[in-house]
């Protein structure tokens, strides 16, 4: 999609692997992936390294012959590299809490993921001697859980492309490539298909599980 983009490792068999079966659920793990991308699609050079890893659990049942998500977690770290060194500019994780009261089913939490920098160094030899000089995420408030879309590791990969590799000025061939990548995730349905009923919108009342034992007057 972009001539300044590099992704390592580039062999999918070394990235997405089976982590076994638990209670008839299939667990897929994503080993650390490092993407070297421009900060904006119209930039010709890259200095932003994005590392992500995580897992995705598939439910044993299907809906319309499509797989259903049962659980997931995605860790991510953004590192900006300059002549002076590397800066951990953004970090956190996305996950799914279908049983924790007052936790949005799908949410993000910001926190330092500075440990992921070693994965970037392992993938890109040019970073071997580049020191990490600053962690912006140190001391960040990490108790906030903003609700989010389902950001499993496949969705996160698509987000990286959307944020950094394509825009309205991209080459014509980049658009069908982006659409093809999005379509490759289509056989997998999100958590909403298996955990909620009735209204299909994602307004606030539907972000949170509602255990039957919770008094309806709790919020008064």
DSSP the chain: --TT-EEES--GGGTEEEEEEETTEEEEEEEEEEEEE-SSTT-SS--EEEEEEEEEEEEEEEETTEEEEEEEEEEEEEEEE-SS-EEEEEEEEEEE-SSSTTS-SEEEEE---GGGHHHHHHH-GGGTT--EEEETTTT-------B-----HHHHHHHHHHHHT--TTS-TTHHHHHHHHHHHTTTEE-THHHH--S-----GGGTS---TTS-TTTT-
Residues of the chain with pLDDT below 50 are: 212-220
Domain that holds residue 98: 6-206
| Residue 37: predicted pLDDT | 97
pLDDT at residue 26, rounded to an integer: 93
Total domains in the fold of the chain: 1
**pLDDT recorded at residue 94:** 97
pLDDT at 218: 45
In a domain, 33, yes or no: yes
In this prediction the pTM is 0.90
Q: Kindly state whether residue 137 falls inside one of the protein's structural domains.
A: yes
pLDDT value at position 60? 87
Residue 4 has a pLDDT of 92
């Amino acid at each position: 999609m972009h001539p300044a983009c590099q992704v390592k490792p580039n062999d999918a068999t070394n990235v997405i692997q089976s982590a076994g079966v638990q209670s008839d659920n299939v667990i897929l793990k994503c080993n650390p992936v490092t993407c070297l991308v421009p900060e904006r699609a119209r930039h010709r050079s890259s200095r932003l390294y994005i590392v992500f890893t995580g897992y995705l659990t598939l439910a044993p049942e299907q809906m319309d012959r499509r797989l259903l998500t049962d659980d997931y977690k995605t860790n991510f770290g953004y590192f900006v590299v300059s002549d002076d060194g590397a800066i951990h500019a953004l970090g956190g994780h996305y996950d799914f809490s279908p049983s924790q009261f007052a936790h949005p089913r799908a949410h993000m939490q910001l926190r330092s993921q500075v440990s992921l920098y070693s994965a970037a160094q392992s993938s890109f030899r040019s970073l071997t001697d580049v020191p990490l000089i600053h962690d912006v995420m140190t001391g960040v408030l990490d108790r906030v859980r903003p609700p989010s879309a389902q950001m499993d590791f496949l969705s996160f990969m698509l987000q990286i492309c959307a944020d950094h590799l394509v825009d309205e000025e991209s080459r014509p061939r980049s658009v069908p490539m982006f659409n093809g990548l999005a379509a490759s995730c289509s056989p997998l349905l999100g958590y909403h298909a298996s955990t909620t009923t009735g209204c299909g919108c994602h307004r606030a009342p539907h972000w949170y599980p509602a255990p039957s034992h919770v008094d309806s007057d709790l919020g008064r």
